[in-house]
Structure 1
Amino acid sequence: MSTTTCPHASSGCDYPTGECSGACVSKAAKAKAPSDAERYTRAMIDSDLTTLVRIEQKHNLYGYPPEIVSVGLHAVAEGKNAREAIDAYLAGEQS
């Protein structure tokens, strides 16, 4: 998967080129779009391994168990650092 910016970046899309479907939306509409944490949960339910891997790679969480990836993705959705949230979770700290 390419890590370059989506060719539709001017429309508000920031997905890696390999993940962009070309159906990018405005920044306002994107704000209402599901977070990667929500997309990851849906992909788990649907057994959509391609989407799971793409989301993990996008956030440099590939290879972690799904529970840990979810912790990181929920932190990102709240504007926090994924790695710091994971470290705190593994240390037994409550958020």
Structure 2
Amino acid sequence: MKDTFTNLISKVMSVIRKKEFIIVFFFVVFLMLNWPFLTIADKGNPFHIYFYLFFIVVFVIIMLFLIQYSYSKNADTDSIYQKVDKGDLPI
């Protein structure tokens, strides 16, 4: 189980480190904040747009944390397990 989690984390971090991922992430967030998608979320209840924007902001914050963490010096899987065991992850 631990090896499966280690492999998953290392694969995710290797994908996040790629320049193409950051470019795609930028365009996805840009499109999500563009006029056509905002009008889709604004139909009906006026609170839908607030929830939509809230989830976009939460998504961006989580992704920026993962991007930063993948570039940090302590991004290897051994240090992840040590931090999880100690409870030192800044989540």
TM-score normalised per structure 1: 0.28
* Higher RCO (CA 8 Å, separation ≥ 6 residues): 2
Compare CA radii of gyration and give the structure with the larger one.
2
The structure in which a higher percent of residues are helix is 2
TM-score normalised per structure 2: 0.29
